[in-house]
Structure 1
Amino acid sequence: MTPGGAVVENNGIGYDIMMPAGQEFPGGIGQEVRIYTHMHVREDDISLFGFRTKEELEAFELLIGVSGIGPKVGLSVLSTLSVYELKIAVMSDDSKTISKTPGLGPKGAKKLILELRDKLDFEEFEQAEPMDFAGDLPAEDSVAVTAQGLVSLGYSRSEAMMAIKKVENAAEYSPEQLLKKALTKLI
């Protein structure tokens, strides 16, 4: 096991699988594991990319489907952001958060958002409490005011929305109360 992958043995053959860095490997040495893989074939190379969940694999395949995004940058995106954080960043048009990915600049992040907006599954957000990801809520809405306040403090829109989402019953608080509670979730 390494920070960026593992060698997995199957029937006496070792497969070197690259995985998102910073994630805990789904098993230990000598244990049986299930890894969802994508085999990337080029003229001069065959590489295996592995993920703990099908959702990560699907997100990876969508990422590498964006022109200009190769498998290493796609893996880097999933090393920097979880699938959930990626969805929030795409939904809130937050290229600042996505461009924190090594190997992906602001232009690439904007292109990624543009191409993924229609392809990612946002069903989990539709079932949750309505939140302002696009800045369309009225100014008196405490969630929208708090999100704008966090953005003005230098946090990205997706960081602000994730912090607010962590606060239980966020819509019941005044903007001042919600801002204090959301700030504690960012620390």
Structure 2
Amino acid sequence: MISSVRGTVLGVAGTTAVIEVGGLGLSINVTPQHALSLRIGTEATVRTALIVREDDLSLFGFQDADELMVFDLLRGTTGVGPKSAMGVLAAMTPSQISAAVASDDDAAFRKVSGIGPKTAKLIVVSLTGKIQAFASSAPAPRAATTVTESVLVALVGLGWSERVAAQAVDEALAEASADQAAADQPHTVQQLLRLTLSRLGPQSADPVGSSR
């Protein structure tokens, strides 16, 4: 069992991170939020769960022990596989999951892509009584970064220098309406990232720290 990985981040694409450990590049499935926090060239420590199947070995990575605990609990629910469990963690923090279970709120889980009404109810029933101790000791939710900061982290992780990425984000924001720009969050992370990438172009990524 591989319970954690520590090494240099070699690449991040979508919800997959590649971390070098002992000369080997390990491909790890992570949530979108986790992917945005990883920067190419820096060292990262990731809690992991190794899922073994007949024809596949998959590593799933988490930012902390709480996420890993909830992932394992979710997988214990009938109809919830690793990818569905990651989908829940991508949409809800561990504390939000425990609160939904405590309040018997299966509607919160139905909002997650791929989770139907029956499975949502099963999640609540399955986790009731198992997640209460976690809920009482859960840390405060992590402070959310702004949309702009999240997009900058994503672009640097994809290989653009911070200077080039910041300039492109500023140009994308400048195209937004005055009212939206004043709020500093005219788009979701995905929307602003898409707009910025369209300005940078698909072939214009530079190695981190390179001059341009």
TM range (shorter): 0.5 to 0.7
State the Cα distance separating 1:11 from its structure 2 match. 1.4
Q: Secondary structure at the match of 1:23?
A: helix
**Which residue of the partner structure matches residue 74 of structure 2?**
63
State the Cα distance separating 1:124 from its structure 2 match. 3.5
State the Cα distance separating 1:5 from its structure 2 match. 2.3
Q: How does 1:88-127 map to 2 (within 5 A)?
A: 88-120=99-131, 121-124=134-137
Q: Does 1:48 align with 2:53?
A: no
**Counterparts of 1:78 and 1:29, CA distance in 2:** 23
* Counterpart AA for 2:98: K
**Which residue of the partner structure matches residue 14 of structure 1?**
25
CA RMSD of aligned residues (A): 1.7
Contact (CA 8 Å) 1:41, 1:47: kept in 2 or not? Answer: yes
- Which structure has more RCO (C-alpha within 8 Å, separation ≥ 6)? 2
State the Cα distance separating 1:32 from its structure 2 match. 1.0
**Which residue of the partner structure matches residue 32 of structure 1?**
43
Q: Give the TM-score taking structure 1 as reference length.
A: 0.63
Cα shift readout 1:104-161 (whole Å, capped 9, x = no counterpart): 1111010000010111122148xxxxxxxxxxxxxxxxxxxxxxxxxxxxxxxxxxxx
* Counterpart AA for 1:2: A
**Counterparts of 2:68 and 2:36, CA distance in 1:** 15
**Which residue of the partner structure matches residue 5 of structure 1?**
16
- % same residue: 37
* Counterpart AA for 1:82: T
For these two proteins, the number of residue pairs brought into alignment is 126
Unaligned runs of 5+ in 1: 126-187
Contact (CA 8 Å) 1:26, 1:52: kept in 2 or not? Answer: no
State the Cα distance separating 1:25 from its structure 2 match. 4.2
**Counterparts of 2:94 and 2:56, CA distance in 1:** 27
Q: Secondary structure at the match of 2:44?
A: coil
Contact (CA 8 Å) 2:20, 2:26: kept in 1 or not? Answer: yes
**Which residue of the partner structure matches residue 80 of structure 1?**
91
**Counterparts of 1:52 and 1:5, CA distance in 2:** 14
State the Cα distance separating 1:27 from its structure 2 match. 3.6
Q: Secondary structure at the match of 1:114?
A: helix
Which stretch shows the higher mean deviation, 11-20 or 23-32? 23-32
Q: Secondary structure at the match of 1:17?
A: strand
